[in-house]
A and B are shown apart, each in its own frame.
Chain A
């Protein structure tokens, strides 16, 4: 039962353009959402999060959008840079201190 889904295994974007990574979830109890970035042979690094009481959160080049009615969130990176090439995981939890449920990840490649 995949409660958090990232349907695009990979995405290629030209440097300087916008990268949009998508994530869908099925559990209506989820109320906190996070994005992590992962390089090979390293642990995931926290990027940005959003609570269900908001529909947008911005941090520098990274913006996360949440559409609760569609059970969909997205991560926008603009402008995309070569160092952004990594695997991005979205994650969700059903409350403070609850376990994080992860999607399968999307491999983002930024082309020069």
Chain B
């Protein structure tokens, strides 16, 4: 049973471009969480999704950020018009509806 798969592992974008981060949850897991870790900081909750539904997006910035978890395919975190402050490690976690969440390796986004 493969773990949570995130791709790409590293992503470089110029200011103003779009960034798309993908997350494939563990098999049988229908709950997906996205977290962001800025340098020297802890993990900050962004959004919690179930299949085709956003359950809690209280941690998402109001503009430029969106997330989806379609019926088929991976969860996508999309950042439009990236700025330098978006540079961070983005982690996805999945859960089978219990409380333990299992994390992927993360995507390190660098905005130049």
Contact = CB atoms under 8 A, between A and B. Distances in A.
Interface stretch (B14-22, B64-72, B102-110): B102-110
Interface of A: 6, 32, 34, 36, 41-46, 49, 89, 91, 93, 95-105
B14 to A, nearest CB: 23
Given A43-B103, A45-B103, A97-B99, A102 B33 contact: no
Given A43-B4, A43-B104, A105 B99 contact: no
B74 to A, nearest CB: 16
Interface string B69-112: 00000000000000000000001010101111111111010000
A101 B91 CA distance: 14
Nearest to A97: B97
23 contacts: A34-B99, A34-B100, A41-B105, A41-B106, A41-B108, A42-B106, A43-B4, A43-B93, A43-B106, A49-B100, A96-B97, A97-B31, A98-B48, A98-B99, A99-B56, A99-B59, A100-B93, A101-B45, A102-B42, A102-B43, A102-B45, A103-B42, A104-B41
A6 B42 CA distance: 10
Chain B interface size, under 10 / 10 to 19 / 20 to 34 / 35 or more = 20 to 34
Interface of B: 4, 6, 31, 33, 35, 41-45, 48, 56, 59, 91, 93, 95, 97-106, 108
